[in-house]
Amino acid sequence: MEGGSSHNFVPPSAGFDKSCVLDVKPLRSLMPVFPDASQAPPFACMPPFGHTPKGYSSFYPFHVPQGSRTSPNLNSENPSPMRTTGLMPAPIRSYRAPAPSGPLGERGSSMGGAEDEDGHFDAHPGSSSSRKKTVKVSSSRKKNKKSRDGDSLTNNGSGVNFVSVMTPFQLEDGNRELVNYVLMNFDALRRRICQIEDARESKNVLAHLKAGNIVMSKKIRTNMRKRIGVVPGVEIGDIFYFRMEMCAVGLHAPPMAGIDFMSGKGDAEKDPLALSIVSSGGYDDDTEDSDVLIYSGQGGYTHNNKQVTDQKLERGNLALERSLNHGNEVRVIRGVKDEVISTTKVYVYDGLYKVHESWTERGKSGCNIFKYKLVRVPGQPGAFAVWQTIRKWKDGFSSRAGLVLQDLTSGTEPIPVCLVNEVDNEKGLASFTYFPKLKYSKSFTSMPPSFVCNCHNACLPGDMNCSCIQKNGGSFPYTGNGILVSRKQLLHECGPTCPCSPNCKNRVSQTGVKLRLEVFKTKDRGWGLRSWDSIRAGTFICEYAGEVIDEVKLKHKVDEGEDDEYIFDTGRNYDSFKWNYEPGLLEEETSNDINVDYNIPYRLIISAKNVGNVARFINHSCSPNVFWQPVLYEHNSQSCLHIAFFAIRHIPPMTELTYDYGNSCSNEADNDNGSHRKKKCLCGSSKCRGYFG
């Protein structure tokens, strides 16, 4: 038998003595040897549920014979297989091949299924993370399509052959930087796959599943080692739009099952301990209390969410029962409705709980269900409780504490922006005029008009005749739900004179504020901006509105010592950062001759001191969660440059929004007056430079 243990292998020989007694071991004692990932047979998508969907590659080392299992309904909004017990595969550790540089951790519990593109439910655990390394990389698509922009913070490979730089230690144990890196790479890849499939007009393509398959095979993951309690780099209150994201960072390993567990001191089947649970509405859980969760056991349900048998005290149910006796902490993730896209869910990490009670009760179908009472460990920061409070504000059941002004925009924005002060007695802002757009003075000469698109309904992602798509490098810059795919040197949107309809999806930055924002008083940095809504990475937040001024007027402000803290200047020096997808993950070629810096047609200086919008309240941070993107579109027969802000990563509700202010150029920094003098930075980031300006 090929591939067996070397000491059991007898080479063929013409002079072989058949009278010799061979040291033959029973088959069960032989170590299985699996082929390399590239040589592995096709893997059925999450055994035992079925085969890999068309268009998705399998991942090593699993394989299920054709026709051996039925496939789940991957488009279901309430996937009951999440806690299926009768058809669970063995833990992934049972299939591990030895790693040359040490163990890469274990993956337990069940696998399978897939979320739809807007985040319903997902598939298999994710792959690795990365050592921090800043590398400027420009990328390009196949077939002579123009390059994408973005610097890369990743690997020493280039082009098609992506090489992960993760060490075995980083794979097993993460930190905050690695967790952010993994999540950023996963979502960047998912957005790019959405962009490709939108152009093909593909339907029912689960981009997150495809992205997850890729990042796992390329080792873009961390915290693979199973553990009880805190997961390094994952913070209470963190949000996830796909279960695959939780798998990739080691928060919750099974991408479908609601209970993750590991073996205790004894046999995994006899002495398991629960590690984490997901309560997302698929079962009859009591989730209203922010500190107590009544959780239903797993099993007994069919794929159409109908309970047909009694639940059994095994696997996840047994693990929760053992955790009750053992008293170990269990991570709890709660699924809540996304207020921005009502068809999706957001998963909120609510911290550590302990199992306090367990019992059985008869369900609506007449079958027995296990129930577990989990109580939140005291002293943790609020997470799910914050969501509940915001929901009461929105529903009018509770008034916002510290409310100063209901809507500081006076109806200018589509959604009110309130003013809140819970710090001191200040009851108002310095006088300014709220204006949601950029004001170019008549004397300011912008660019001559660019070509408008020739679309008469709406610009379509796959229409290569659309001039706006051509100007954007041959690809539509946004996904179908208005999420920015990649940073660009210069983003071209349809302008007011384009013949396409006003609801064209290439007008994202022109539609005003769509999030429920509030301006609030910070403890030590004046007024700041945050959102009541969760914000997905790539979401448009607002434009930087104000008065466009020229360099002469800016110099005059500096010379006069005028302290204008509301200046935005594209001429400042800004640190590069990685946000775009890795072309090598999709076997796309990179292009090293494309400058990753913004390609802005002219220096744009905006003062929001006297006239501006909510963007004037966004504070500086050396580790920001928002970035600015130059956007160009035609208006009044001229092409005008605008500054739009987008989310770098998923941002939980009530988290302050910040961007990097950059630093003045050397000749301006020498002047220690006004808006160009260096200011002490109070961002509190581990990467804080100590100053800005």
Decide which of 146 and 471 is more confident. 471
Residue 440 lies in a domain: no
Does 94 have pLDDT greater than 80?
A: no
* Nearest one of 247, 118, 153 to 580, comparing CA atoms: 153
pLDDT digits (tens, 9 = 90+) for 291-316: 999 999 988 876 666 778 899 999 99
Q: Read off the pLDDT of residues 500-515 as tens digits, 9 standing for 90 and up.
A: 888 899 999 998 899 9
Q: Are residues 205 and 252 in the same domain?
A: no
d(CA 142, CA 591): 11
Structure tokens at 260: 């993750």
CA distance 532 to 537: 16
Identify the domain boundary among 175, 210, 225. Answer: 225
The two structure tokens encoding residue 85: 């017990």
Indicate the range of 558-567, 568-577, 673-682 predicted with least confidence: 673-682
Nearest alpha carbon to residue 126 among 216, 254, 186, 56: 216
In this predicted model, which residue has the larger pLDDT, 113 or 360?
360
Residue 278 placed within a domain: yes
Output the pLDDT for position 576: 86
What is the rounded average pLDDT of the residues 398-414?
Answer: 92
pTM of the model: 0.77
Taking only the tens place, the pLDDT of each residue in 130-164 is: 333 333 333 333 333 333 333 333 344 444 567 88
pLDDT at 22 over 50: no
- 34 in a structural domain: no
Q: Are residues 198 and 306 in the same domain?
A: no
Q: How confident is the model at residue 63 (pLDDT cuts 50, 70, 90)?
A: very low
pLDDT tier at 435 (50, 70, 90 boundaries)? Answer: very high
**Stronger pLDDT, 415 or 636, i.e. the higher one:** 415
Residue 513 lies in a domain: no
Asked if residue 242 and residue 337 are part of one domain, the reply reads: yes
Give the model confidence (pLDDT) of 184-205 as tens digits: 999 999 999 999 999 888 877 7
Say if 300 falls within a structural domain.
Answer: yes
Q: What is the pLDDT of residue 463?
A: 87
Confidence of residue 76 (pLDDT cuts 50, 70, 90): very low
List, as one string, the DSSP characters of 109-124.
S-------TTTS---S
Residue 193 lies in a domain: yes
Verify that 268 and 353 share a domain, yes or no: yes
Strands 619-620 and 626-635: unpaired
Q: What value does the mean pLDDT of the chain take?
A: 78
| Residues 189, 256 within the same domain | no
Is residue 202 located within the same domain as residue 280? no
Residue 208 sits in which domain range? 163-225
Same domain, 204 and 294: no
Give the Cα separation of 457 and 613 in Å (integer). 31
What pLDDT score does 411 carry?
Answer: 93
305 and 254 in a single domain? The answer is yes
User: Residue 43: pLDDT above 70?
Assistant: no
pLDDT reading at 541 higher than 50? yes
Least Cα distance to 674 among 561, 544, 537 occurs for: 561
**pLDDT value for 676:** 58
Strands 368-376 and 292-296, by their bridges, are: antiparallel
Tell me the H-state helices in 477-624: 551-559
The reported pLDDT for the residue numbered 220 is 95
Which stretch of DSSP H or E encloses residue 270? none
Question: 42 pLDDT exceeds 50?
Answer: no
Check whether 286 has a pLDDT greater than 80.
Answer: no
Q: Is residue 195 in some structural domain?
A: yes
Over residues 268-287, the mean pLDDT reads 82
DSSP state of 190: H
Residues 221 and 286 placed together within one structural domain of the fold: no
pLDDT of residue 149: 37
Alpha carbons 249 and 240: distance in angstroms, whole number: 11
In eight-state DSSP terms, residue 676 is G
Within a domain: residue 115? no
Mean pLDDT lowest among 183-192, 234-243, 286-295: 286-295
Longest dimension (CA), the chain: 104
Q: How far are the Cα atoms of 108, 605, 615 from residue 545, in angstroms, in the given order? A: 50, 11, 7
Given 343, 360, 395, the domain boundary residue is 395
Instruction: Please check whether residues 326 and 373 belong to one and the same domain.
Output: yes
Dihedral sign computed on CA atoms, order 95, 97, 98, 100:
negative
- In a 13 Å sphere around the CA of 234, the CA atoms on its Cβ side amount to 29
Domain count, the chain: 2
Mean pLDDT value of segment 222-232: 96
Q: Check residue 667 and give its pLDDT.
A: 57
Give the model's pLDDT for residue 269: 55
Reply yes or no on whether the pLDDT at 404 is more than 90: yes
Q: Do both 217 and 255 map to the same domain?
A: no
316 in the same domain as 171: no
- Cβ 426 vs Cβ 526: under 8 Å: no
Among candidate residues 379, 395, 411, the one where a domain is terminated: 395
What share of the chain in percent tops pLDDT 90? 47
- Determine which of 167-171, 172-176, 471-475, 618-622 has the lowest per-residue pLDDT on average: 471-475
272 and 108 Cβ atoms separated by less than 8 Å: no
- The enclosing domain of 249 has a CATH number of 2.30.280.10
Share of the chain above pLDDT 70, in %: 71
